Amino acid sequence: MAKYISLTAIGKDKPGIVSSITKALYEEKCNVEDSAMTILHGQFAMILIIKITTNLSIKALFNKLQKVANPLGMAFSYAELSSYVPKKHKSVNPYVISVYGSDRTGVVYNISECLAEDKINITDMQTTLLKYKGKDTYIMIIECDIPKKKSYEKLSKDLLRLARHINVTISLNKAESADI
């Protein structure tokens, strides 16, 4: 029976990280089922969901990957997945929340707490700091799932109140698939 593990690796960005790690996985006949990779503040971060179809133990795979990851200066960890959902999660009622304003501590916490209180699930979040002419502007884009029964109007009001309180701009839009 196939085993599934999550792998995370993060380290200073340089060419060759993805090829080194995926080469090791390929040699062990492991399949990359899902992945997200990005550069955060100069650090290359990768999260992979791996399917192991052979008799290879998770420990043996980890040892092999560590040999590859260590010379690259990557911090590396893994976890066996007890439950695996093969199909990608599809939002039933997806919305996009965009937030921007002066950089201050606690914006992510303030917004995510507001969503958690309304039992709204965050499905994707990206934050970035825009530096321009000595000014720092914080931008956050959240994808979330608003249960049909929940009131869009209530969330909209809650976010508007919060935006005034923490002095940022928050917009809530129904998500649409890009079709270009």
Partner 1 sequence: MSILPILTIPNHLLKEISIPIKKIDVETKTLIKNIKKTLYFHNRCVGIAAVQVGILKRIVAIDASRSAKEHRNNGLLIMINPEIVYFSGKISSREGCLSVPDFTGYVTRKKKIEIGYLDINGCKQHLKTDGFESIVLQHEIDHLDGKVFLDRVSSLKTDVFRR
Residue from 98, 119, 152, 164 binding partner 1 (CB under 8 A): 98
Q: Mapping DSSP to helix (H, G, I), strand (E, B) and coil, where does residue 5 land?
A: strand
Q: Count the Cβ atoms, other than its own, within 10 Å of residue 93.
A: 15
Q: Which is nearer to partner 1, 63 or 127 (CB)?
A: 127
Q: What is the dihedral sign for C-alpha 62, 36, 4, 8? A: positive
Q: Which of residues 114-153 bind partner 1 (CB under 8 A)?
A: 124, 126, 128, 130, 132-133, 135, 137, 139, 141, 143
Query: Is residue 45 a contact residue for partner 1 (CB under 8 A)?
Result: no
How many chain residues touch partner 1 (CB under 8 A)?
29
Examine residue 175 and tell whether it contacts partner 1 (CB under 8 A): yes
* CB burial string 143-163: b at 16+ within 10 A, e below: bbbbeeeeeeeebeebbeebb
**Smallest gap from residue 141 Cβ to partner 1 (A):** 5
